Amino acid sequence: AQTVTQSQPEMSVQEAETVTLSCTYDTSESDYYLFWYKQPPSRQMILVIRQEAYKQQNATENRFSVNFQKAAKSFSLKISDSQLGDAAMYFCAYRTFQGAQKLVFGQGTRLTINP
């Protein structure tokens, strides 16, 4: 079974600075998807960014980018120019490429933005 580990329960960053959230995962599959989700206090999970494992290029979405290291099974999220609205819980998630559609989530990292 696949597992996802987020070793940073909490992180904080100054507004406008850059922060990196860590995620590692374990799988025997070669093709899969990886995601970062944001969960504000409203509880609604919002997709931030995704990465297909077969793509070597790291995904980027505006201020959000990932560092995908397939051999190391590492998938970190970098947030540049942090904004107060970025404060939330962040979850790393894994999904197999074919078959089961379920997402496997990590434990989450609570990100605080200091003004």
**Own/partner pairs, 100-105, CB within 8 angstroms, 24+ separation:** 103/35, 104/2, 104/3, 104/4, 105/4, 105/37
Q: How many residues does the chain have?
A: 115
Nearest to 46, CA basis, from 5, 91, 7, 78: 91
Alpha helices in 1-115 (DSSP H): none
Q: Which residue in the set 52, 54, 61, 83 belongs to the binding site for another protein (CB under 8 A)?
A: 52
Binding segment toward another protein, per CB under 8 A, in 12-20, 61-69, 78-86, 97-105: 97-105
Q: Is 103 in the site for another protein (CB under 8 A)?
A: yes
Binding mask 55-94 for another protein (x = CB under 8 A): ------------------------------------x-x-
List the structure tokens of 39.
């969960």
The region of 40-48, 56-64, 71-79, 80-88 touching another protein under the rule CB under 8 A is 40-48
Of 17 and 26, the one with the shorter C-beta distance to another protein is 26
8 A C-beta contact, residue 99 and residue 112: no
| Binding-residue total with another protein (CB under 8 A) | 22
The residues that touch another protein, with contacts defined as CB under 8 A, are 4, 6, 33, 42-47, 50, 52, 91, 93, 100-108
